[in-house]
Structure 1
Amino acid sequence: MRYTLLLHYPEMDAASLSEEAMAEGQRAFASYAATLHQAGVLLGAEILQPSSNTTTLTLADGVLHVQDGPFADTKEQLGGTFVIEVLDLDAAIDWGKQAPSIAWGSVEVRPGALFTVDGAWRPNT
């Protein structure tokens, strides 16, 4: 099954982290990605830009509203994702608990679904 590991953690930037801490985090994520790849489960990964670069769209009474920045006022951000293909939820949880960001945030494990050419959504099993 396909799962997306959504990495949530406190908003941080290069100015609030030391150069050493930034380099350590980059090494940890590079190692994690390499481990997923070597295990043959990694389908893709995204590092997201800071939430301050977000544009949020909402529709109210038929009117589109465009808001700069994140919609929710929160101390955590969605910082990145890893899409993996594994046998089941237990395997996805095993990979999710190895994400470096689990030490300072949360990892949401969410099953994916496929959208097919005929327009149907089908669980990815």
Structure 2
Amino acid sequence: MQHYLLSVVQPADGRPPATEELAEIMRNVEAFNDELRAAGAWVFSGGLHGPETATMLRPEGGDVLVTDGPYAEGKEYLGGVCLIRAADLDEALAWGRKAALATTLPIEVRPFADQH
């Protein structure tokens, strides 16, 4: 089994869904996580606060410079992550499709490097 990162891509200019719609999305996300757990594919998942809460740490001249804000400004940002186990990319993409349907947001699927 390999590990894959499912990244939830959140639009920066998006408005939060209405209360009822958000409740349905959250039920769908919980059902998705339950399905991952039942299949033995779930490792970790969680949502993130917006990029305005980010703090950057950059090495500079033997020290570390600390600044507020995201690494880069953009039209989208990382809204959450899900770390899964999957036999191969096809299986990871199948989970990614389910995540996209549950969250109603784009999902980026990436394998971890140097897995054996």
TM category, shorter: 0.7 to 0.9
Which residue of structure 1 lines up, in the alignment, with residue 25 of structure 2?
A: 25
Structure 1 residue identity aligned to 2:50: P
In structure 2, the gaps of 5 or more residues are: none
Identity %: 33
Pair 1:124-2:115 in alignment: yes
Q: In proportion to residue count, which structure has more helix?
A: 2
Structure 2 residue identity aligned to 1:48: L
TM (norm. structure 2) is 0.81
Structure 2 residue identity aligned to 1:94: A
Which residue of structure 1 lines up, in the alignment, with residue 95 of structure 2?
A: 95
CA–CA separation in structure 1 for the residues paired with 2:45 and 2:70: 21
Which residue of structure 1 lines up, in the alignment, with residue 110 of structure 2?
A: 110
In structure 1, the gaps of 5 or more residues are: 114-122
The answer as to whether partners of 2:43 and 2:83 remain within 8 angstroms in 1 is yes
CA–CA separation in structure 1 for the residues paired with 2:17 and 2:46: 21
| 1:39-95 residue CA offsets vs partner (Å, 9 max, x unmatched) | 111111121122111111223444533221212111211111111111111111111
CA–CA separation in structure 2 for the residues paired with 1:124 and 1:74: 31
Runs of 4+ in 1 over 3 A off after TM superposition: 60-63
| 1:8-65 residue CA offsets vs partner (Å, 9 max, x unmatched) | 121378x843212221221121111111111111111121122111111223444533
The answer as to whether partners of 2:12 and 2:74 remain within 8 angstroms in 1 is no
Which residue of structure 2 lines up, in the alignment, with residue 116 of structure 1?
A: none
Pair 1:41-2:53 in alignment: no
Which residue of structure 2 lines up, in the alignment, with residue 2 of structure 1?
A: 3
TM (norm. structure 1) is 0.76
CA–CA separation in structure 1 for the residues paired with 2:78 and 2:66: 19
